[in-house]
Structures are given as structure tokens and as C-alpha cells.
Amino acid sequence: MTQAEPRQGGVTLTRTGADFLIWSHHAEKIELCLFDHTGEEEIARLPLERTEGDLFRLHVEGVHEGTRYGYRAHGRYSPEHGHWFDPSKLLIDPYAKELDRPFRHDHRLCVFGEETAPLVPKAIVTRDDPAKVSPPVFGPGAFIYEVAVKPFTWLHPDVPEVQCGTIAALAHPAVIAHLKRIGVDAVELMPIVAWIDERHLPSLGLTNGWGYNPIALMAIDPRLAPGGVKELRDTVAALHAEGIGVILDLVFNHTGESDKMGATLSLRGLDNLSCYRHLPDNPGVLVNDTGTGNTLACDHLYVRQLIVDTLRHFVLNTGVDGFRFDLGTILGRTATGFHSSSRTLHAISADEVLRDRVLIAEPWDIGLGGYQLGNFPEPYLEWNDRARDTMRRYWRGDSHMTGQIATALAGSSDVFARHGGTQTRTVNFVAAHDGFTLLDLVSHSHKHNGQNGENNRDGHDENFSWNNGVEGETSDRTVIHNRRRDVMALLSTLFASRGTVMLTAGDEFGRSQRGNNNAYCQDNELTWLDWKNADEALIEHTAFLSHMRKRFNVFDKNGFFSGDGDIEWLSASGEPMTIPEWEAANGATLTMVLATKDLQKKKLVRLAIAFNRSQVQQEIALPVAPGRKWQRLATGRSQTSLRLKPRSVEFFVEQ
């Protein structure tokens, strides 16, 4: 399998030099700037030739692998008409695959006429080195582990200092051992491509630690991968060798060029009017369906092809298994709103390189009609915030939640069967990077984002959280015990659900952000994982749950239950739930019984998962077939009296 030559951009090395290709519809002239090996001194400035299809081309003799370069685009500077051409701005090639340094915000990047070559990274000419591309190493029901690369290993005691905080650290034996201990099927790397800080952060002494503000869509940020593409390729290969897949969280909804006060770094300077959305009757106003100041025009042919070529690059040159699309609704937007049949969504899933990759959409943005949970086409999986909130509200003790929790546990057919679907496409989670950590969810009744410099205005206000009697940190042992108990119950509920499940790194050992539910700008101890103080009891519980999912094959299926013997819902009496029990305001218990194959014992069994959300112990009954008995899965002991501890989930297998 080989990558097709990019249709609209990139650098191709030849026997004697290199061919440069870049697209712009509105530019009057584009110049290639070559730099010395330090990237500091411009040594040549060469005009490209405009050719058919608004492509600018140039062959340069003597260019070699490692050459530093950038572009300057000439044309009309008229922001009120959507044009931002400014030849004083050195621009990053949208097809650049490596950069020589990270982006740093500087006010001069935002000022017309200010020279920016000393301020911005230079693209590096590279030669593709194809990876071994194999089918994704995980399937339905996978356990995805969301990882912010730097915070994950920055404080890891076993990772060499030179590797801490890098992609390479993910391949360290100690890290892999932890992933295998808790049964991770795939790591989902939060954005790794080159990003820039939001312009308000430097004055606050803050930096963006999450990466959701990209500039170069193909180039990995040098802070995370000093070894460039090769570092990611080698890490993917190392994880694949251990049966662990890799998903990249990519941002195609906006760029760090931001609103009209933002920087000119790449697409804005090459063709702002084509690459970003503007009001139809006012091209000087950027559409802000993302809340970040701009929105990529994903239905434009050039942007669509850039997205597809970016995905192809990461598959062909690094071997990744799939992608998660931040604010994925933008990918389906046109001038008339979201369309599940959009050309961009189809172009991704139909591409010969991408068609077998795992594709995950965050199915919302903040634009009109932006909430599209359940409306993406197959094969896209979707982040399910409705199931997230249901799990939270059930354990918080909200009323009339029994039916809702059952629906979520069974794969959310109310969402994913709406358009005739027969399989769930849900990605279930209780907490993610965006919002409270799992421990903070049961330790805070409201957010505490004061350190972000926005007077606690940022971040979600409604978190469906509770504090177990004390807000925030405490030395009260009873409160600490109750919080761990609640985290265990939430983890159990998540891993008992049908569909793909996702856990954010560190939530399995009790990480806290001290109530900050929007910690994107806290690249410090608040977000760095404290491995030395990990809660071993929580880790063991997570490992138990993950390996339970792998033992029973009911969890590696994604079809909806028929109710014809494959699933039963029982009350505390062991009898099928009645309508009054389903509708009870404060039902304390619920038992889900699943018909499944026990892959460990190689036989068909029933698995009972019993929930007790009350503050007191509950006794339940389970129907026993002749000659059979129930064993508590955690202990392997046969049970005659089935008692559920307060605020707990228990697993029983019929033997």
C-alpha cells in the first residue's frame, strides 16, 4: 500500500532536488523561502508558478532532506472582505510533516506588516518512510485509554528524564506494563500536532497543555516528539507488539489562528476566505461554531482534501489504528447546517487507506443545530455524553433514573437505533479530559477554575457532581472512603456497559485537578499524573473490570439486545422488573443478567451485574437453574445469600 501523491500540497524529493506544491485560489503570488540549517537565516526567496487548479509549483535544485522552508503569500489585505494577505508573514506549509521548533505566541504575529520569520517555526523537508499498516488491533467493546502525552509521563519515576513527557515514553516497558495491567486495548492520544497558546495565556503565565489549538495539521509538535514522525511510528509499532492500538485525537474544526485579532501563521495567510467559514453576507465576519474564534470550512474541496491527506499520512507513515475527531459535527457542516451524508464525512470513511480505521466523532459543536449525537453515519462511533450524564445522575441519587441507566447499560438504543441502526456506536465514558476528573466528580459540587484567570467563568457549570459531604480536599477518613467507593461504583457501571468504553489516564488511580474542570491551560502539577501516590485499590479494581470484559464475550459485541433470553432485568426479589418498579422515583437496586460465553471456562453462562445505589446494604435474589449456583466474580466463592454493600456494583457468574 502506498500513498497517492498529494493533490494540493507538499514537498516531493527528487533525484536532484525537490518539487514544492501549494494551493491558493485568492493569492496573487506565492514565494518559497529557504533557510539555513539553523532556520534563522533566509538564504533564498523564489517565486512559484501558478498552474491549473490554483496550484503553485516550483522545482528547486539542491534541496535535500532536512532543508528548512516557509512561504510568503501576496494579495489583497482587506480583512473586512475576508482577505489577510501579508507577505511580511512567514507561513507554515499546511502539508508540512515536521517543524524545527514549537510555536510561541507573540503579538507581532497578529500585526499587519510585522516581519515574523524570526518568530515562527520552519517546515522541514522530509522523506516518507512507510510504516507497517495492519488492520486495527482492537474491535467492538474495546477499552480506550485517553492520554495527554506530556502529563502522562512527566513525573513517571521509571521513565528516563530525557523521555519524560514524550511520545517515545509511551513505549517504555514500565508504561506498557501499566497499560497491560489494566487491560487497555487502545491508547487515544490527545492532540499531538503542532499547536500555539491562546493569545491571552502568556500574560497570565499559563500555557496550553492539551494541544486543542493546532496550526500545522500533519506536523507533530517537537515538544512531544523530538524524533518527529519516526518517534510516533516506532511507538505505534512497540504498542502494537503488545496488542495495544493507537488512536489520534485530531482537531479539524478550527486552528490556532483564532478570530480577527489572531495570528497569521498558515491557512489565514494563504487563503483565509476559502479555508474558514464566514457569514454568507459578510465575509469579514468569521463564523465561530467552535467557540475558538474561527471554523474550518470542511466542505471546501481544498480543506476536505487536506483533512483526508492528513489522515492518510498518519496511517501510512505511522501505522495508527484510528482517529477521534474533536467537535466532529464541523466535519459534516455545510452552509445549510450539519448533514450526515456530507462529502467530507464520506470522503474519510470511503478512502481506500482509511476505510478500515476506527473513526470516533465528538458529535457536537456550539453552532446552530450543533448537537448531533446519534446522527453520524456508520462506521463512525460517537462520544455519548447522554450516557455519561445518566451514569453520573444515577449515582448522584437523582430520581427516576432506573430506566435511563438500563438503556445506557444496554448500548443506548434510544440514540443509535433512531435511523434504523441495529448496532450501538456508543463510546461510553464517565469522565474525560474536558470536565471533572473521576475523583473530582465525587469530591466537588461545583467547579473551581479560578487558576485559569477567567474568574471561574470558563468550564461547564452543570457537572452532575457531588462532594460526599465536604467540598474538595479533606482528611476525613469517612469522606475519603465514601469517595473511593463512589469512584469504584462509577468505574463498574462504565465497564458493565455495552459498547466501547473510555477512561482518561489517571482516573484509574484517583487523580485530582482540585476541582478545575477546564484544565487545558494548566501545564503543571495540577494535570501531571502523580504516579508515586497512585491509589492501588482503584488500579486493581480497574484491572478486575477490564479483564472481566475480556472474559465474557457479551462485551465484545455491539448489536442491540433482543430481550429474547439475551438480557434480563430483575428487581431485588429476583423477579422481572414490573412497570411500577421501573417508574419508581428512587429505586435502590437493579440487576442486569446477561447470557454470554465465559471464554475462560469455554462454556455458556449467565452473568449477573447487580447495582445498589443506596446508602445501606441491600439483599437481592437471583433465579437459580437446576444444578447451578452463583459465584461472586471478585472472590470466586459460591453465594447463598446475595448481599450488596452500600453504593456498590457486584458481579456474579452462574456455574
| CB-based contacts of 593, cutoff 8 Å, min separation 6 | 567, 568, 569, 570, 606, 607, 608, 609, 622
- Measured CA distances, 57 to 46, 48, 54, 202, 577 (Å): 11, 5, 10, 38, 70
All cell numbers assigned to 348: 474519510
* 195-227: pLDDT as tens digits: 999 999 999 999 999 999 999 999 999 999 999
Amino acid in position 56: F
What per-residue confidence (pLDDT) applies to 562?
Answer: 95
What per-residue confidence (pLDDT) applies to 520?
Answer: 98
What per-residue confidence (pLDDT) applies to 1?
Answer: 33
Residues known to be catalytic: 326, 362
Give the integer Cα–Cα distance in Å for 276 and 93: 16
What does the angle CA 37 – CA 111 – CA 279 come to, to the nearest 5 degrees?
115
Give the number of other CB atoms < 10 A from CB of residue 368. 9
Pairing of strands 333-334, 322-325: unpaired
Amino acid in position 22: I
Question: What are the residue ranges in the chain where pLDDT is below 70?
Answer: 1-7
What per-residue confidence (pLDDT) applies to 4?
Answer: 46
What per-residue confidence (pLDDT) applies to 7?
Answer: 67
What per-residue confidence (pLDDT) applies to 639?
Answer: 74
Q: How many helices (H) and strands (E) does the chain have?
A: 13, 30
Give the integer Cα–Cα distance in Å for 394 and 388: 10
* E-state strands within 175-272: 186-189, 245-250
Element (H, E) at 382: strand 381-383
Instruction: Please compute, for residue 479, the number of CA atoms within 13 A of its CA located in the half-sphere on the CB side.
Output: 16
What does the angle CA 634 – CA 509 – CA 522 come to, to the nearest 5 degrees?
160
Find, among 135, 143, 136, 140, the residue nearest to 425 by Cα: 140
Using CB atoms within 10 A of its CB, is residue 108 exposed (0-12), middle (13-18) or buried (19+)?
A: middle
What per-residue confidence (pLDDT) applies to 5?
Answer: 46
Give the integer Cα–Cα distance in Å for 199 and 177: 39
Give the integer Cα–Cα distance in Å for 268 and 83: 8
Which pTM does this prediction carry? Answer: 0.97
* 5-47: pLDDT as tens digits: 456 899 999 999 999 999 999 999 999 999 999 999 999 999 9
